[in-house]
Amino acid sequence: MKIIVAIKQVPDRDAQVRIDAHAKWIEESDLQYALNESDAYALEEALQLKEKHGGEVVVVSAGPERVGQTIREDLGLGQTGVIVAELLNLPHATLILHVEKTDSGLTVKRELEEGWFQTIELPTPAVLTIQSGGNKLRYATLMGIKRAKTKEVRRVTAAELGVEAAPVVLLDRVALPQKQKSTQILPGTPKEAAAALVEKLKFEVRVL
């Protein structure tokens, strides 16, 4: 089975986000990037399928050398899998926790809302988007990291692919989110803040 995994880099979870001078995007120069966490689950699922059934795993990532438009747009919308399926005219299933290969294609377990699930059968080739939590992520071994350096990395430009699409949606302006409630921050040492919170829980919230 040949499996393509689409991944992307996103600003690190703990990175401080600052708006750029034009309020069009964030300051990227000093940002730390990391693999998008849900992409790690997709990669893990692909590796497990390969280990079980043989084949090849190819990882693709669209974006700039680091900074640029594609990743920006991708960051927000998170619809890549379903759009790819439509453009390639392939069947798809989203929020998948488990994949099983069958004689005629795949049987997948899909997450629904509020603790419900569903099994879906679909023929291959197919596009799946993987939900977090379906498998256990592995940690890179020293051997694996060494071997990774010998793997082929191919770069393809949008021009080589003949892609030139005019955007249909424009990100006009970004801002830090507005507060929905006025939060009372309880200052002081951990002990002082804890004591202040206990006062609030006792006399304002009345749960103690």
Partner 1 sequence: MSGVLVIFEDRAGKISRISWEAVAAGHKLAASLGLPVTAAVIGAATESLAAETASKITGKVIRVEHPLLGQYTADGFTIALHQLIQSESPAYVVFPHTYQVRDYAPALAARLNEVLISDVISIADGPVFTRQLLQGRLSGNYRHTGSGPCLVSVQAGAFRADAAATGSAEISVFTPTIEPAQIRTKPGEPFRGSSQTIDLGSAQLIVSVGRGIKEAENIPLVQALATALGAELAASRPICDNGWLPMERQVGSSGQSVAPKLYLAVGISGAIQHLVGMKASQCVVAINKDPDAPIFEIADYGIVGDLFEVVPALTEAIKAAKQ
The footprint of partner 1 on residues 120-159 (CB under 8 A) is 120-123, 131-133, 136
Q: Which helix (H) or strand (E) holds 70?
A: helix 69-77
Of 44-52, 84-92, 141-149, 156-164: span binding partner 1 (CB under 8 A): 84-92
**Is 186 among the residues that bind partner 1 (CB under 8 A)?**
yes
Which residues neighbour 44 within 8 Å (Cβ) at sequence distance 6 or greater? Answer: 135, 136, 137, 138
Nearer to partner 1, 24 or 147 (CB): 24
**Is 34 among the residues that bind partner 1 (CB under 8 A)?**
no
**Is 21 among the residues that bind partner 1 (CB under 8 A)?**
no
**30 token code pair:** 């000093």
Whether the bond between 167 and the residue before it is cis, its omega within 30 degrees of 0, is no
Q: Which of 7, 17, 43, 144 binds partner 1 (CB under 8 A)?
A: 17
Q: Which of 27, 101, 117, 144 binds partner 1 (CB under 8 A)?
A: 117
Nearer to partner 1, 16 or 52 (CB): 16
**Rounded Cα gap, residues 59 and 40, in angstroms:** 11
The footprint of partner 1 on residues 38-57 (CB under 8 A) is none
Closest Cα partner for 106 from 118, 96, 117, 120? 120
Amino acid (one-letter) located at 146: K
Q: Which of 140, 145, 159, 185 binds partner 1 (CB under 8 A)?
A: 185
